[in-house]
Structure 1
Amino acid sequence: DHRTALCLRPQGWSGTLTADGARLLTTQKNMVLHLCLCLYSQGYKMFAAIKEALGTQRLEGTGAGGGGCISEGEVYKTDTGKVFVKRNSKKMAREMFDGEYESLKAIAATGTVKVPTPHVVVDNPAGGAVLVMEYLDMHSLNRHAGILGKQLANLHLHNINLEKTGNVVSASEVTPTYVSQFGFPVTTCCGYLPQDNSWSDDWLVFYTRKLQQQLTLIEKEYGDREARDLWSHLQLKIPQYFKDIEVKPSLLHGDLWGGNAAELSDCPVIFDPASFYGHHEFDLAITAMFGGFSRRFWDEYHSIIPKAPGFNNRHKLYKLFHNINHWNHFGSGYRSGSLQLMRDLCR
C-alpha cells in the first residue's frame, strides 16, 4: 500500500510514487522478507544440529572470531564453555572439514603436540559446512617456539617408533597402530584443494602423484608450456634426491606455515592441518616459506631429527608443492617462484 511505498523510499527522496512503483517496491520488500525468513530457517537448523551434537542448550555468539583466506570463524558460548565454529560456504566444504576433523584427531592421538579438540562437522543448509572445535586462547608463537620444534619432531617420530615398539597407549589413552604406507584414510585439503591421499607403498610414487595433481590443475587453468616442459625433465630426476636415505611414513601436519602455529600460556599449539603419512621433511618446507618460526624452532627440531644427506635439494622439492599449490589458489604471482625451483632442481 501507500504506506509501504513511503517507508521504502530512499532517504532524502521527496518525489511521488506511482501505483506501479509502489507495487514493485512492495514486491521487492516481500522478496527480501522471504529471503530473510529462509536464511533464518536454515541458520536455525544448522545451530540446532550443532547444539544437539554438543549436548548444549546454549549457543551464543560472542562477537569474537577470526579467519583467513579460506574460511571464517566465530567464538560461541555453550553450557560447558566456549567453542570455535569454523565455516565455509564452498561446495566442497564438508569434504574439507571432514579431512581437518580426522587430521586433528590423528595428531591428538599421538599425544605429542597440542591441537584443538574437534567436536563435530555439520552441513550448513545455506551452503557449505561448519567445523566445531575446542576454543583456545591463542597468541603468536614466541617463547614456546623451541618446544614446538621438539614436539613436531616427536610427532614425526611417533609412527616410526610404533614400528619398533608395537602398539602403545598414548597420553590420550588411544591405541595407535603403526601405519606402513604413505597416504591417509580420508581426503584432506591443503587450502581448499582436495589432495589425493590414496595409499601407496612407495613415497616417490606418492609424492610424484601429489605434484602431478597440482601441475594438472596448472595445465588446465594456464596451459603453461614452460611448467610442462620443466616437469617432464624433473620427474626423471626426482629419484636421485633420495639416494642413500630410507623414507618411513610419519604423520604430518601437512600445511604448517606460520599462520597455523601459535601458543597458549603453557604450550605451543598447531591447527588447520591437512594431514597424511609422508616424509617428515615435507612438513619443514612451508615453515621456511613465510616466516613465523625462529631459529630456536629449527635448532630444537634438528637436535632430535638431524638433517639427512641431500636435505637441501629435497627441501626445494617439497617447497615446490607449496609454491604450485599457491599458484593454483592465488594466481600467477607464484609462477616465477615455482618455475625457478623446477629449474634449480633440473640442473
Structure 2
Amino acid sequence: MERLLMKELASTSVSPAGGSGGGCISQGAGYLTDNYGHVFVKQNKKSGAATMFMGELEGLKALEGTGCIRVPKPIKVFPMPDGGAAIIVEHVHIKPLSPTCEAEAGTNLARLHLHNRELKEKAESSGDGNSLRYVAEFGFSTTTCCGYIPQDNTWTDDWVTFFTQRRLELQVNLAVKKYHDQELLHQWTAMKPKIPSFFKGIVVQPSLLHGDLWGGNIGQTAKGEPIVFDPAVFYGHDEYDLGISSMFGGFGKSFFDAYHKLIPRTEGFDVRQELYKLFHYLNHYNHFGSSYRGSCMKILKNLAR
C-alpha cells in the first residue's frame, strides 16, 4: 500500500501510522505522508467500491463546502490493483461525543439543514443571481451509497415521490428479490398509499443531508470539535437525518434539544420518524439479514393502520 500511495499522492515518503481498523463494509488504515500529512485510507474489494467511494468523496466535499459541519478533508479515490477501490481522506483522531459537544453537534446539524434554504433567501433578498447555488430539487449530482447499496439520487421535484420510489421502494424490491419476502411486499403494498398523508400540512424544502447519521458516524476531534464521516449524502427532508440517529443510541437529549431550537418539530414529526426509520431497517435487512426483518414488518403494519 505504501508504494501505491506514493504513486497516487505523488509522495516521496509514506509510512504506516495510526494503526488499522474497519467497520461492517470496508477496512482502513492510517499513513503518514510527506505532502498530505496524516491520511486515512479505506479500501473495499467489492465490484461497486469505486462508485461507493466516489459518492463518499463528493458527499464529503459537499458537506465541507457548507462550512457548517466538520468532516475529514476528502482527498482522492483510486482503483486497487487486485480489484475494488480505495478512498483517501484526512486522518483525524476521533473520540466519542462528550455531553458538551453533543449540543454543538445538534446545532451544527441544524445549520447544515438550513444552509440550502438560506442560500435561496439571500439570493432572493439581494437579487444578485446567487440562486444558482440553491438546490431546488431532491437528489444528488452523483450516486451515493448507504452501506454498499447504491442510492438512486435522480433529481426529483417532489419529496414524497422521491422518498417513496427512490428510497423505500428500492429497498423493498431488493428485499423481495434477495429473500423472496412476499409478506413484506404485501405489507408495503398496504402501507404505500398512506405515505402522502404523513406529510399533510407541511412544506418540505431540500436540505443537504449526511444521510447515515448513526452514533458510529459522528464524534469529536482532539480539540473538542464535532465531526461527522462516512456519509450517504443527498438533498432531502431535514427530518430524515434524525431517523437513524435515534435508532442505535449515541445521541443524548442535548443533541436533539439543540437541533430543535433551530428547527422545531412540526405536526406529524413522530410518525414521519417511523417512516424514516423504516428505510434504515430495510437497508439493514438487505445488508445484514433477517434480524432486522421484524422491525421492518412492525413499522409497516403500524403505519398501514
Q: TM-score range by the shorter chain?
A: over 0.9
Q: Larger relative contact order (C-alpha < 8 A, sep ≥ 6)?
A: 2
Aligned to 2:48: 92
Matched, 1:307 2:262: no
- Report the Cα distance in structure 2 between the residues aligned to 1:214 and 1:116, rounded to whole angstroms: 29
Structure 1 residue matching 2:133: 3-state secondary structure: coil
Q: Which amino acid aligns with 2:191?
A: L
Match of 1:14 in 2: none
CA contact (8 A) 1:123 1:130 kept: yes
Tell me the equivalent position of 1:234: 191
Q: Is the Cα contact below 8 Å between 1:145 and 1:297 reproduced in 2?
A: yes
CA contact (8 A) 1:62 1:76 kept: yes
More deviation in 197-206 or 158-167? 158-167
Once the 2 structures are TM-superposed, how far is the Cα of residue 63 of structure 1 from its aligned partner? Answer: 5.6
Q: For residue 160 of structure 1, what is the aligned residue in structure 2?
A: 117
Distance 1:63 1:109 in 2: 27
Q: For the Cα contact (< 8 Å) 1:167–1:178, is it kept in 2?
A: no
- Corresponding residue to 2:28 among 73, 84, 87: 73
Letter in structure 1 aligned against 2:161: V
Gaps (5+ residues) in structure 2? Answer: 126-130
- Give the whole-Å Cα distance in 2 for the aligned partners of 1:136 and 1:74: 12
CA distance in 2, matches of 1:319, 1:181: 22
Q: Deviation at 1:214?
A: 0.3
Is 1:251 the counterpart of 2:208 in the alignment?
A: yes
Q: C-alpha displacement at 1:229, in angstroms?
A: 1.1
Task: Give the one of 295, 298, 303 matched to 1:340.
Answer: 298
CA deviations 1:241-292 (Å, max 9, x no partner) are: 0000000000000000000000012310000000000000000000000000
Give 1:319 shift.
0.3
Q: What's the CA shift for 1:141?
A: 1.1
Per-residue displacement from partner, 1:2-28 (whole Å, max 9, x unpaired)? xxxxxxxxxxxxxxxxxxxxxxxxxxx
How far apart in 2 are the matches of 1:63 and 1:113? Answer: 24
Q: Moved runs in structure 1, 4+ residues, more than 3 A?
A: none
Paired AA for residue 65 in structure 2: A
> Matched residues in 2 for 1:192 and 1:178: separation?
29
Is 1:320 aligned with 2:268? no
Q: Is the contact made by 1:122 and 1:131 (CA closer than 8 Å) also made in structure 2?
A: yes
2:76 to 88, 105, 120: 120
Matched, 1:331 2:289: yes
* Structure label with greater radius of gyration: 1
Stretch of structure 1 that moved more, 97-106 or 261-270: 261-270
How big is each residue's C-alpha offset from its partner over 1:19-46, in whole Å with a ceiling of 9 and x where there is no partner?
xxxxxxxxxxxxxxxxxxxxxxxx57xx
Give the counterpart letter for 1:280 in structure 2.
D
Residue 96 (structure 2) aligns with: 140
- CA distance in 2 between counterparts of 1:268 and 1:300 reads 13
Q: Which residue of 1 aligns with 2:14?
A: 59
Q: Output the aligned Cα RMSD.
A: 1.6
User: Out of 185, 195, 204, which is 2:160 matched to?
Assistant: 204
Shift of 1:66: 2.1
Q: Deviations over 1:127-153 (max 9, x none)?
A: 111100001111111131110000000
Q: 1:260 aligns with which of 194, 207, 217?
A: 217
- Of residues 221, 238, 255 in structure 2, which corresponds to 1:297? 255
